[in-house]
Amino acid sequence: MKYLSFLLLFIFLSFNSIAQNDDWSSYGKDPGGGHFSKATEITPGNVKDLERIWVHRSGDYHAGLNWTEDVIPNSSQQTSFQATPILVNETLYYCTPYNRVFALNPETGEEKWVFDPKINIKEKALLHCRGVGSWIDNNKTENDECYHRIISGTIDAELFALDGKTGELCSDFGNNGKIDLRDGLGTHNPAYYYSVSPPAIIGNLIIVGGGVADNVSTSVPGGVVRAYDVVTGDLVWYWDPIPPNQEPIIDEDGNQLYQRGTTNVWSIISTDPELNLIYLPTGNTAADNYGGHRNGSDYYSSSVVALNASTGKVVWHFQTVHHDIWDYDVPSQPTFYDVEKDGKIIKALAQTTKMGFVFLLNRETGEPIFPVEERDVPQGAVEGDYVTKTQPFPTKPKPLTPTYLDPDDVFGFTPWDRGYCKKAAQDLRNEGLYTPPSLEGSVHYPSAIGGANWGGPAIDSSRNILIANTMNLSSTIVMVPRSDCDKALKELARDSVQSRFSALQQNEGTPYCTIRAYGFMSPLGVPCTKPPWGNLTAIDLNTGDHLWQIPLGTSKDLAPFPFWWIKGAPNVGGPTVTASGLTFIAATSDYYLRAFNTETGDELAKFRLPTGGHATPMTFKTENGKQIVVIAAGGHWAVGSPASDHLIAFALP
């Protein structure tokens, strides 16, 4: 009995030690994402008692223009505060829309230091930062300079290594602490290439992709992925996403040049140190909505690509969309989980997509866990382009969103605006998912902002439940012959309804420009799709079945009173889950952080925020055992919530 008591005490102390040191060291909590915390102090029974314990404000925000006014050239949109902080060595680190990096006391929100990369704010149309990376040098002691390094990218396409204790630049890294990611990309407009997603770390390597403005020209910078030594900043390898059978371009000195307009990796990268693999969610080859010039260069577009971490060579890739001309790039972090099948444990990953599909893949081989079928899709692209006969459809899980806008089932607040939506849905090409872009205009459903987007899924690994938030919105695409583009821009500027929700994309280097409405709206600014406009869904990863799906958020803060009653709101951000069975998510156009029961979908509590919390929350236990939940609330231009700079922490009394 004495030995049993000792064993139980040992297990308790070990578990308690793990829980108290459950650092959130990567954007997604772990290198393979998941947003899963072992902290259990906050439970379904007491979550309603959470109180705000501190707020940190950086001052880094501005109103700017919102997305409905982006037809105005050279204008700056409002900031969006998208960061998920990380917690390492009892310090909270996060980046602001101006790319400053703050280190905070996690229990009080008190500043320890701030680093300012001094980006040129006035020249940037979009300003945001989703997170930073972290690396500890085991060859040093805690008191050594740059024992702990914070790695951060900027909208100016620079990469910095900072001392985690002081915020000072690590002078041995690159050029006195920084690397210019524009090197090798050729001459280009600085606004066309940027780094806003957190760098991934594996071993002693930093892995970075880059965001590319892939809707302006075919000659934008390429989407090269690079690996740098975390200590020296030396380039170790690079992956240029050109097809295997395509010869690289070599300069006169024998060096390979990064090719322009290739698929890019703008979202969050995953790493698996045990398998020595890196997982890339790729975007689509420029330009977004026309691919007649690509000649197979989109071989790796809209895919999950697994690279060998030592060499950068492709191990496998799985394409979620063939010849993507819908801007259905893979938007979120490939998220790890394990599942038993035929008596064997499979190392797997879940990939959410803008189409509302979830692809479940073996992360060692890329093979689907459940069958994926090639199904016929609508045909008939514009002259000079083509569409593939089929596209991949997972048999499980079923789609998270609808894929066809029935003209008889559109929405509006009045018969007048509902009638507008019905006529438009009848007049445009509207054949369901993968309706090709067209001269007469095509309904794009789900829209290019989702379905799912960069917030990604959370996976409760103790229950093998995946939680994902999605949008139920459509958009429209009109292809305009190059000779008519100036005329189309003038007409767009004069049309008050169109100009509120649409933009003209030049797509230089192709025969067409594009009028693209990111939201298919009525003249009253109401989505033509029927509510809910946002959902939260739980999937049993063992069976592939939906456990539940509920509307997420309400139309409060989006629509005027008395139209606050609509359930299911547009949302940008992601969920976090805990071992106690809680799902935390803000994301919605109404200003709340919500807590749900992971197993049932019941809403247990909600907490008012000063504006929309369009980020992914994180949670941790302090060294004193207190569990804290942190969310960035800074608005987002895409859903109309105003800009701000609130980083807010909640805890039990």
Residues with a catalytic annotation lie at: 327
What is the residue type of 485?
Answer: C
Please give the Cα distance from 66 to 642 (Å, whole number).
Answer: 9
Task: Compute CA distances 213 → 61, 220, 329, 625, whole Å.
Answer: 22, 7, 13, 45
Who's near 44: CB < 8 A, 6+ residues apart?
580, 581, 582, 597, 604
Provide the token pair at 571: 């949302």
* Residue 279 backbone phi and psi in degrees, to 5: -120, 120
Q: Are 530 and 512 in contact (CB under 8 A)?
A: no
Three-state DSSP at 269 gives coil
Q: Are 551 and 531 in contact (CB under 8 A)?
A: yes
Provide the token pair at 382: 């514009």
Please give the Cα distance from 376 to 596 (Å, whole number).
Answer: 38
Q: Label the pairing between strands 442-444 and 51-57.
A: unpaired
Please give the Cα distance from 153 to 137 (Å, whole number).
Answer: 20
Cα 537 to the center of its chain, rounded Å:
17
Residues of 118-135 as b/e, b for ≥16 C-beta within 10 angstroms? ebebeebebbbbbbbbbb
User: C-alpha angle 241/357/240, rounded to 5°?
Assistant: 5
Nearest to 199 by CA among 260, 258, 266, 272: 266
Please give the Cα distance from 575 to 133 (Å, whole number).
Answer: 20
Quick check: bond before 532 cis, omega within 30? yes
**Which residues on adjacent β-strands are paired with residue 557?**
none
Q: Are 132 and 115 in contact (CB under 8 A)?
A: no
Task: Compute CA distances 547 → 244, 540, 598, whole Å.
Answer: 41, 6, 10
Three-state DSSP at 135 gives strand
Provide the token pair at 23: 């650092």
Please give the Cα distance from 182 to 82 (Å, whole number).
Answer: 24
Q: Are 431 and 377 in contact (CB under 8 A)?
A: no
**Which residues on adjacent β-strands are paired with residue 256?**
250
Provide the token pair at 352: 């959410």
Question: What is the DSSP code (8-state) at residue 565?
Answer: G
Sort 464 into a burial class: Cβ within 10 Å, 0-12 / 13-18 / 19+: middle
Rg of the chain on CA atoms, in Å? 24
Nearest to 96 by CA among 154, 23, 182: 154
Who's near 548: CB < 8 A, 6+ residues apart?
537, 538, 600, 601
